Chains A and B, each alone.
Chain A
Amino acid sequence: MQQNLNFLVVDDFSTMRRIIKNLLNDLGYANVAEADDGNTALPMLKNGNFDFLITDWNMPGMPGLDLLKHVRAEPRLSKMPVLMLTAEAKREQIVEAAQAGVSGYVIKPFTAATLKEKIDKILAAQAAA
């Protein structure tokens, strides 16, 4: 497993960013940056060297779905794994995220095991592609 991957965690709640960052650290991923919404995250993604994006959906400023669409529309970022980690639980939203090209979808509240499982699955799929 590539433990030196660069993660960007996007959530408007600092509590949740901290939890995700801690869980990622426990999983052996030490390089975790944070952003509080899509507007902050997008320039970081464009100018940075991130390998994996974990984003909330419901955020002030640019919501996660719009961020996902921007990422998929940007040639350099279009293949980046994007895991949606959100409390949004409507079927049509999950369908919408899937259509926008989400790599995985975890609903809050979640467990450490679920997060690990989804990240591993996405990375395995990426390696196989």
Chain B
Amino acid sequence: MSTLHENNNEYAIWVTAMSQALDQGDKVAFRTALAGFDGARNSEVTTGIRKVALDLQTALDRFRVDSKLIDLAQRQVPDARHRLAHVLRLTDDAAHRTMDLVDRCCPLADHIAHEAERLAVQYEAAEPSHAMQPQLTGFLRQTATSMTAVRGNLAEVLLAQGYQDLSGQIIRGVMTLVDELETALGELVRIGGSELEAGSRSQDSRRGHGPIVPGINHGNAVGGQQDVDALLLDLGV
């Protein structure tokens, strides 16, 4: 690789030659010297470009080797998406399993509550003076009350399965992000990191934003059903 000093010497030789040719009025010699000067300059530019290209190549090679980019793009990110899909399936299965069991328990609780109440009335009428009568009817009435409470709690258990929908929506949001990340990383690997397409698309409000996730700024969101009701009242709904 030529140094600036070497180049300067080469330029000086051609400049002197041009000067002499001018003095002597030698057109041919002048043009030869001028061409020589141009050649020296071009060779310096070419050398510079070669150096930049080599540096770039080295940087890219190091980038490929050092970073986990390829592994991320080809394995870890698709893995992350599959894991999330798996969580979705697990929570969906668990929620349905819970609801299946609740569905089976509800009629049992209803039946016991109804029968206990019916038996209490019947026994009271049939054996008004039996020694066990107050205890037994008391127990039957308590059973009816307890089973009604159990039935109420089962309804709450059912409603609580709504977590699956809310967590599922959040997971789907993250999965979309992972998809975009995968595409972007694939592109990055393809072009060797020299150009990265900018900008994640802002989410379309028409499609919805999904549930509020604590710790993430959602902008202008309402605080709860009371806020919704107040807002709708203002809007005349």
Residues of A within 8 A of B (CB): 11, 13-16, 18-19, 22-23, 26, 57-59, 63-66, 86-96, 98-99, 102-112, 114
Residue of B nearest to A91 (CB): B220
B165 touches A94 (CB 8 A): no
B159 touches A92 (CB 8 A): no
Known: A13-B165, A19-B165, A104-B237. 19 other contacts (CB 8 A): A13-B92, A15-B96, A16-B162, A16-B165, A19-B99, A22-B99, A64-B208, A86-B208, A88-B208, A91-B231, A93-B209, A98-B231, A98-B237, A104-B232, A107-B224, A107-B228, A108-B162, A108-B165, A108-B211
By DSSP majority rule, is chain B's interface helix, strand, loop, or mixed? helix
Residues of B within 8 A of A63 (CB): 206-208
A-contacting residues, B189-213, CB 8 Å: 205-212
Residue of B nearest to A96 (CB): B205
> How far does the Cβ of A32 sit from chain B's closest Cβ, in whole Å?
14
> How far does the Cβ of A123 sit from chain B's closest Cβ, in whole Å?
15
Complex Cα gap A107–B226 (Å): 10
B228 touches A94 (CB 8 A): yes
B169 touches A111 (CB 8 A): no
Complex Cα gap A102–B236 (Å): 11
A-contacting residues, B149-186, CB 8 Å: 155, 158-159, 161-166, 168-169
B169 touches A26 (CB 8 A): no
Residues of A within 8 A of B208 (CB): 57-59, 63-65, 86, 88, 93
Complex Cα gap A96–B159 (Å): 28
> How far does the Cβ of B237 sit from chain A's closest Cβ, in whole Å?
5
B211 touches A87 (CB 8 A): yes
Residue of B nearest to A103 (CB): B237
Residues of A within 8 A of B225 (CB): 106-107, 110, 114
Residues of B within 8 A of A106 (CB): 225, 228
Residues of B within 8 A of A87 (CB): 165-166, 169, 210-212
B164 touches A93 (CB 8 A): no
Given known pairs A91-B220, A103-B237, A107-B225, the reply for A14 and B210 (CB within 8 Å) is no
Complex Cα gap A33–B222 (Å): 30
B235 touches A91 (CB 8 A): no
Among A23, A88, A114, the most chain B Cβ lie within 10 Å of the Cβ of: A88
Complex Cα gap A105–B233 (Å): 11
Residues of A within 8 A of B99 (CB): 15, 18-19, 22
B222 touches A90 (CB 8 A): yes
